[in-house]
Amino acid sequence: MDLKRVVVTGIGALTPLGNSVPDYWHGLINGVSGANPITLFDASKFKTRFACELKNFEPTDFLDKKEARKIDRFTQTALVCSDEAVKSAGISKNTVNPDRVGVIFSSGIGGLITFQQEVTEFAKGDGTPRFNPFFIPKMILDIAAGQISMRHGFRGPNYAVVSACASSTHAIMDAFNLIRLGKADIILAGGSESVIKEAGVGGFNAMKALSERNNEPQTASRPFDKDRDGFVIGEGAGMLVMESLEHAIARGANIVCEIAGAGATADAHHITAPHPEGLGAKNVMFATLDDAGMKPEDIDYINVHGTSTPLGDISEVKAIQAVFGEHAYNLNISSTKSMTGHLLGAAGVIEAIACVLAVKNDIVPPTINHFTDDEGLDPKLNFTFWKAQKRTVRAALSNTFGFGGHNASVIIKKYSA
């Protein structure tokens, strides 16, 4: 069958660099770090005492106070982000067929803050069960997708995708496939995460996954640096409004870029560590190029998973060199996690948005916080250290990998009629 082309017509972003798409992009191209000491709880006794929190975010500035209390912070950020995306796309339930507009919105963990609060309060009591009636609806990670559909009145396909840190890239992939198969005209795709709480930070600390560079948090996220010591946890949300090309043209939409292809694989190796040779990462990039009908030479920029962990950064670079060969030296490579931190289930979509904006503006955002070369990485590769670089970006590849060995990639390219 003939597959429909899929374009992006709207974007929303709520990140540690800013509470809108323009603010996010400004932070990215200017190499701003979103890391600061934790304010969302008392972290004084924790091994890691900093994170990439949202700045000046007050949910009740956007949501009714009574309604805001009924939803977890990860859903609050999802709703706020959806408002920006829907507005930028110029759609509403009155201007498009709401039965043909879906929401596929993910989270890696969901309502951990709510879960911790409810269980902690129960443990303080005498054993009598006194739980908030909204406990379960606040906690389940599919609720953000449901709440977004209710807020905007969209009745098309609606569900969540869960694959740890690859979740929102899988959401984009599912949206892409449903639209090109003709199952929907428009899908709001993305993800949100907010787990900067005792259980979240303590849990990742116990795994030794987080940086403990407490005296210099803004330089703690160091992808590709010899002295990297773990990722910096972040929070936020992102959304792409994805639409069939024919539907976008028919309504006179502003087309930002095109989704060219997507892929998914598994490492089948370890619960948290990547395959040492980047096998799953290599396979997912090959699969994504094949899905897009593109060659390695067609890609100009890769936004890598690049979490700043000792094993992960090296295995991903090995995979890139295996896939792209000599063309790897013509690529710009960068990890925007050096600025945003790691937004877990929302990482994929905010990094896809970075690719969208790189393609739109012909600017590659940098990898900041590089101080010492890692002898395990090829120095001839262009990791876009410290400063954004202007170049024509015909197409960009975004990689995301999740605990459990889940890999997902998406290619975003310039739109041409």
Chain-centroid distance, C-alpha 274? 19
Give the integer Cα–Cα distance in Å for 232 and 243. Answer: 33
Which amino acid, residue 225? D
Beta strand 158-159 pairing with 101-106: parallel
Question: Do the beta carbons of residue 229 and residue 254 sit within 8 Å?
Answer: no
Task: Give the residue from 263, 262, 307 showing the smallest Cα distance to 403.
Answer: 307
> Among this protein's residues, is 305 annotated catalytic?
yes
271: exposed, middle or buried (Cβ count in 10 Å: 0-12, 13-18, 19+): exposed
Bridge partners (DSSP) listed for residue 210: 231
Tokens of 187: 């899908």
**Residue 342 bears catalytic tag:** yes
Of the CA atoms within 13 Å of residue 234, those in its CB half-sphere come to 39
How many C-beta atoms lie closer than 10 Å to residue 273's C-beta? 14
Single-letter code of the amino acid located at 396: A
Residue of 247, 305, 370, 406 with catalytic role = 305
Cβ 167 vs Cβ 161: under 8 Å: yes
* 398 bridge partner residues: 303, 410
Query: Which one-letter DSSP state was computed for residue 348?
Result: H
Burial, 49: exposed, middle or buried (Cβ in 10 Å; 0-12, 13-18, 19+)? middle
Q: Which of 305, 247, 230, 219 is nearest to 96 (CA)?
A: 247
**Catalytically annotated residue among 52, 81, 165, 355:** 165
Euclidean distance between CA atoms 403 and 265, whole angstroms: 13
Please count the residues of the chain: 417
CB 104 within 8 A of CB 187: yes
Q: Report residue 324 CA to chain centroid gap.
A: 24
Secondary structure (3-state) at 134: coil
Catalytic one of 152, 342, 370, 406: 342
Residues noted as catalytic: 165, 305, 342
